[in-house]
Amino acid sequence: MIKLFIKKHNAVFIACALIIVVGVMAYIRLPRESTPEIKQPWIFVTTVYPGVSARDIESLLTIPIEEEIDGLEGLSKITSSSAQSVSSIFVEFTADTQVETALRRVKERVDVARADLPEDTEEPQVRELNSSDWPVFIVALSHAEGSGVIDRPARELRDRLKRVAGVLDVTMAGNLTREVAVELDPLKLRHYGLTLDDVAGAIRAENANIPGGTLKNPAKNYALAVTGEITDPALFQDIVIRSGSVKIRLADLGTVAFQTADPQTYSRLNGQPAISLEVKKRTGQNLIQVVDAAKKEIERSRAAFPAGTQITYSYDGSKEIKDMISDLENNMFSGFLLVLAVTLLFLGLRNSFFVSLAIPFSMLMSFFVLQLLGVTLNMIVLFSLIMALGMLVDNGIVIVENIFRHASMGKPRQQAAIDGASEVAGPIISSTITTVVAFFPIIFMPGIMGQFMKYLPITVIVVLTSSLVVAVAINPTFCAQFMGTSARAQRKILEGSAGFVRFQKWYEKRLRWVLKRPGLATLATLGVALAGFLLYGVLGKEPIFFPSLDPSTAVINLEARQGTPLEETDRYVRRIEQILPAVQASVKHVQVTTGASSDGFGIGQEEYHKGTVRIEFKPYLQREVSGVQATENLKKALEDFPGAEVGFQELDMGPPQGHPVSYQITGSDYQVMGDISEQVLRILEDYPELKLINSDYEPARPEVAVEIDRQKAAYYGLSTVQIASVIRNSISGATVGSFRQDSEEYDIVVRYQDEYRDSLNHLSSLQVTGDNNERIPIQAVAEIRYRSAVGVIKRSGLQRAIEVWADFKPGVQNKAEVKAAIAGRVGGLSLPAGYAVGTGEGLQIQQESTDFLVQAFLIALFLIFAVLIVQFNSFVDPFIILISVFLSMGGVFLGYALSGMEFVIIMSGIGCIALAGVAVNNCIVLVDYTNLLIRQGGPWREAVVQAGKIRLRPVLLTAITTVLGLVPMALGVSFDVHTFTVQVGSEQSEFWKAFAWAMIFGLSFATVSTLVIVPALLTVKFRFKDWWAQKRGKSTEGNGHGARRQQEEIIAVAEAVAGGRPPRRV
Tens-place pLDDT, residues 99-156: 888 888 899 899 988 888 887 788 888 888 766 667 888 888 888 887 778 888 888 8
Average pLDDT over residues 269-298: 84
**Nearest-angstrom CA–CA distance, 692 and 713:** 50
**Nearest-angstrom CA–CA distance, 319 and 552:** 13
Q: Considering only CA atoms, which of 353, 399, 387 is closest in space to residue 463?
A: 387
**Nearest-angstrom CA–CA distance, 355 and 395:** 8
**Nearest-angstrom CA–CA distance, 146 and 827:** 54
**Nearest-angstrom CA–CA distance, 81 and 99:** 22
pLDDT of 493 higher than 60: no
Predicted local confidence at residue 21, as pLDDT = 92
Let me know: does 166 contact 282? Beta carbons within 8 Å: yes
Q: Please work out, in degrees rounded to the nearest 5, the angle formed at the alpha carbon of residue 691 by the alpha carbons of 686 and 693.
A: 70
Q: Report phi then psi at 303, rounded to 5.
A: -65, -20
Predicted local confidence at residue 959, as pLDDT = 83
Average pLDDT over residues 786-803: 81
pLDDT band at 1057 (very low <50, low <70, confident <90, very high): very low
Predicted local confidence at residue 284, as pLDDT = 67
pLDDT of 649 higher than 80: no
Q: Report phi then psi at 839, rounded to 5.
A: -70, 135
The DSSP call for residue 119 is T
Predicted local confidence at residue 602, as pLDDT = 39
pLDDT band at 225 (very low <50, low <70, confident <90, very high): low
DSSP-derived pairing of the beta strands 610-617 and 690-695:
unpaired
Residue 280 DSSP SS3: strand
pLDDT in tens, 1004-1026: 888 888 888 888 888 888 888 88
Predicted local confidence at residue 850, as pLDDT = 77
Average pLDDT over residues 220-224: 68
Let me know: does 507 contact 1011? Beta carbons within 8 Å: yes
C-alpha of 818 from chain center: 29
The DSSP call for residue 483 is -
CA separation, residue 1035 to residues 512, 943, 1020, 1030, 1041 (Å):
22, 16, 15, 6, 14
Predicted local confidence at residue 927, as pLDDT = 85
DSSP-derived pairing of the beta strands 734-741 and 700-708:
unpaired
Cβ atoms < 10 Å from Cβ of 137: 26
Cβ atoms < 10 Å from Cβ of 854: 11
CB-count burial class (<10 Å; 0-12, 13-18, 19+) for 735 = middle
- Give the residue with greater pLDDT, 792 vs 732: 792
Let me know: does 178 contact 259? Beta carbons within 8 Å: yes
**Nearest-angstrom CA–CA distance, 1049 and 264:** 88
**Nearest-angstrom CA–CA distance, 40 and 76:** 12
pLDDT band at 269 (very low <50, low <70, confident <90, very high): confident
Arithmetic mean of pLDDT over the chain: 79
CA separation, residue 698 to residues 265, 335, 662, 970 (Å):
20, 51, 17, 44
Q: Considering only CA atoms, which of 242, 68, 45, 196 is closest in space to residue 129?
A: 45
pLDDT of 1058 higher than 60: no
CA separation, residue 557 to residues 174, 635, 653 (Å):
18, 12, 20
DSSP-derived pairing of the beta strands 272-281 and 167-173:
antiparallel
pLDDT of 600 higher than 60: no
- Give me the domains of the chain, ranges plus CATH numbers: 1-30+348-495 (1.20.1640.10), 41-128 (3.30.70.1430), 178-260+702-790 (3.30.2090.10), 499-539+874-1061 (1.20.1640.10), 559-652 (3.30.70)
Helices 920-935, 841-872: axis angle to 10 degrees equals 10
What is the pTM for the complete model shown?
Answer: 0.67
Q: What percent of the chain has pLDDT over 70?
A: 86
pLDDT of 708 higher than 70: yes
**Size of the chain in residues:** 1066
Predicted local confidence at residue 986, as pLDDT = 66
Predicted local confidence at residue 953, as pLDDT = 78
Flag the least confident range among 255-264, 644-653, 787-796: 644-653
**Nearest-angstrom CA–CA distance, 519 and 879:** 16
pLDDT of 801 higher than 60: yes
Average pLDDT over residues 29-54: 78
DSSP-derived pairing of the beta strands 744-752 and 734-741:
antiparallel
Q: Considering only CA atoms, which of 614, 604, 635, 629 is closest in space to residue 557?
A: 614
Q: How many helices (H) and strands (E) would you count in the chain?
A: 36, 34
Let me know: does 348 contact 342? Beta carbons within 8 Å: no
The DSSP call for residue 134 is S
Predicted local confidence at residue 657, as pLDDT = 61
Helix (H) or strand (E) holding 322: helix 317-347
**Nearest-angstrom CA–CA distance, 671 and 984:** 53
CA separation, residue 435 to residues 324, 395, 660, 721, 941 (Å):
27, 12, 32, 66, 30
Q: Determine what percent of the chain falls in helix, strand and coil, rounding each to the nearest 5.
A: 55, 20, 25
pLDDT band at 1063 (very low <50, low <70, confident <90, very high): very low
Q: Considering only CA atoms, which of 69, 32, 695 is closest in space to residue 379?
A: 32
pLDDT of 390 higher than 70: no
**Nearest-angstrom CA–CA distance, 356 and 338:** 12
Average pLDDT over residues 665-686: 88
Q: Report phi then psi at 603, rounded to 5.
A: -105, 100
Predicted local confidence at residue 630, as pLDDT = 86
Residue 243 DSSP SS3: strand
Helices 379-407, 413-439: axis angle to 10 degrees equals 150
Predicted local confidence at residue 484, as pLDDT = 63
Flag the least confident range among 419-433, 647-661, 870-884, 1044-1058: 1044-1058
**Nearest-angstrom CA–CA distance, 20 and 25:** 9
3-state secondary structure 833-868: CCCEEEECHHHHHHHHHHHHHHHHHHHHHHHHHHHH
pLDDT of 608 higher than 50: yes
Give strand pairing partners of 738: 747
Residues 572, 577, 580, 582, CA torsion sign: negative
pLDDT of 1053 higher than 50: no
**Nearest-angstrom CA–CA distance, 1021 and 1027:** 10
**Nearest-angstrom CA–CA distance, 272 and 958:** 59
Predicted local confidence at residue 1064, as pLDDT = 43
How far apart, in Å, do the first and last CA atoms of the chain sit?
28
Give strand pairing partners of 139: 277, 313
Let me know: does 1045 contact 938? Beta carbons within 8 Å: no
Residues contacting residue 542 through CB under 8 Å, at least 6 positions apart: 812, 813, 814, 815, 816, 902
- Give the residue with greater pLDDT, 284 vs 631: 631
Predicted local confidence at residue 603, as pLDDT = 41
Residue 24 DSSP SS3: helix
pLDDT of 173 higher than 60: yes
Half-sphere exposure of 845 (CA within 13 A, CB side): 21
Let me know: does 380 contact 453? Beta carbons within 8 Å: yes
For 147-159, b/e burial (b = at least 16 CB within 10 A) is beebbebbbebbe
Q: Report phi then psi at 307, rounded to 5.
A: -60, 140
